[in-house]
Amino acid sequence: MALFDFFKSQGSTSYLGVDIGTTSIKIAELEKGKSAPRLLNYALLETESALLRANTALQTSSLKLFDKDTVEFLKMLVAQMKPKTTNVVASLPLFSAFTTILTLPEMDPKDLEQAVQFQARQYIPLPISEVALDWSKVGEVEDDQGGKVSQILLISVPQEQIKKYQNIFQSAGLVLRALEIESLSLLRSVIGNDPTPTMLIDIGSLTTDILIVDGGSLKYSGQTDFSGSSLTQALATSLNINPLRAEELKRERGIIGTGPNYELSTIMLPFLDAIISEVRRAEFTYKNQFPTAKPIERMILTGGGANLLGIEKYFKDQFQRTVVRGAPFSKMEYPPILEPLGQELNSLLAVAIGLGLKNL
Ligand SMILES: Nc1ncnc2c1ncn2[C@@H]1O[C@H](COP(=O)(O)OP(=O)(O)OP(=O)(O)O)[C@@H](O)[C@H]1O
Ligand SMILES: [Mg+2]
């Protein structure tokens, strides 16, 4: 996965992983530690205005936050963090990229590059000169004649989009070294090279990403608009309170669902169920696409929405499977001062950490 790497930055000892979400920017600075990567510092910024603007303008912007805001926010965060480096690895949201699975006959790796380029033309809605391509082999199946066929995950991103990111970071005094689809960053920080067939569910503010990983590689990615803000909106509407108050209530009470919290749970659960049915659908599609794939053994929840009180148990009851929250911190060295915040930061910083790890 190297096609979005721009320049090799020689001798840099640390990197800033920058995750620009719909309602937040998260930065993690990582360097090589003695026995594991070390998190040096992090910064988080959540915008309330995004919450108030709700589901309107943001999604039409291909960058999730508005460009000008993003530059200002980045400057602010960097001023706070005082990182040792200006080298950035940033994420591209799944929806700004076009992904598809190509099937190609088994061939020499050096011919594969060309074959992928050639086939890509048939799938990509833009002229090939206007996109950056990235791809990796994710599976192997047999065709009707019993020949081996490789399955290739193809990712393409408009060049224009890439330029936009370069400009944003430059304006903020940073140097963009590489871009990566956020799913791949998550995979790196949360799963690493664990081969267990896993569903990874990233419940963000405006979107939930549903990923299926097997043998350490990404096999399927899908997305739904049911997400963290759906729960907040539901509370705001049902209880006739403003979204900021609704957000507070959601974080305080979650879906524990007993006593005075019972009503709150009943308001939010239909939206969680909507996420769950999208998850089931994703699994169904995956099974069709990879009929011989191993069954999914566990689910890992991440993103801010994974911090909803009671969500793990609810998923466990629904799927009768192991459900845990992602824990990138467990594979890193980090300042002890972060310990009490560990679990929440694990969910929020997973993408940023994965980005910071990419070039280490
Ligand atoms: N303790 C909590 N309980 C419930 N929900 C929470 C909690 N903390 C954060 N959230 C929710 O998580 C969401 C934000 O998650 P995250 O920071 O991963 O989103 P994002 O990356 O900005 O968005 P996206 O991935 O959609 O671009 C918000 O909907 C927020 O309400
Ligand atoms: Mg996110």
Ligand 1 center from residue 135 Cα (angstroms): 29
Cβ neighbourhood burial of 299 (10 Å; 0-12, 13-18, 19+): buried
Closest protein CA for atom 25 of ligand 1: 204
Intervals of the chain under pLDDT 50? 1-3, 54-62
What is the distance in A from the centroid of ligand 1 to the CA of 228?
6
- pTM for the whole thing? 0.90
Q: Whose CA is nearest to atom 10 of ligand 1?
A: 304
Q: Which atom of ligand 1 is nearest to the CA of 206?
A: 26
Which ligand has the shortest distance to the CA of 302? 1
Cα separation, 166 vs 144, in Å, equals 46
Nearest ligand, CA of residue 348? 1
Question: What's the pLDDT tens digit per position in 286-336?
Answer: 999 888 899 999 999 999 999 999 999 999 999 999 999 999 999 999 988
Laid out side by side, the sheet with 298-302 consists of 217-224, 208-214, 198-203, 298-302, 322-325
Residues with CB under 6 A from ligand 1: 21-24, 64, 204-207, 227-229, 232, 247, 250-251, 303-305, 307-308, 348
Which residue's CA lies nearest to atom 17 of ligand 1?
A: 304
Ligand 1, atom 19, lies closest to the CA of 204
| Under 8 Å between Cβ of 198 and 286 | no
Q: What's the pLDDT at 57?
A: 38
* Cα 355 to averaged position of ligand 2 atoms, centre (Å): 12
pLDDT at 56: 41
pLDDT at residue number 18: 97
User: In this structure, which ligand is nearest to the CA of 229?
Assistant: 1
31, 14 in Cβ contact below 8 A?
yes
Domains observed in the chain: 14-96+158-358 (3.30.420.40), 98-157 (3.30.1490.300)
At 68 the pLDDT is: 77
pLDDT at position 260 is 75
Confidence (pLDDT) at 94: 74
Q: Summarize pLDDT for 184-229 with one digit per residue, the tens.
A: 999 999 999 999 999 999 999 989 999 999 998 888 989 999 999 9
The residue whose CA is least distant from atom 12 of ligand 1 is: 304
Please give the Cα distance from 215 to 213 (Å, whole number): 7
The pLDDT of residue 251 is: 95
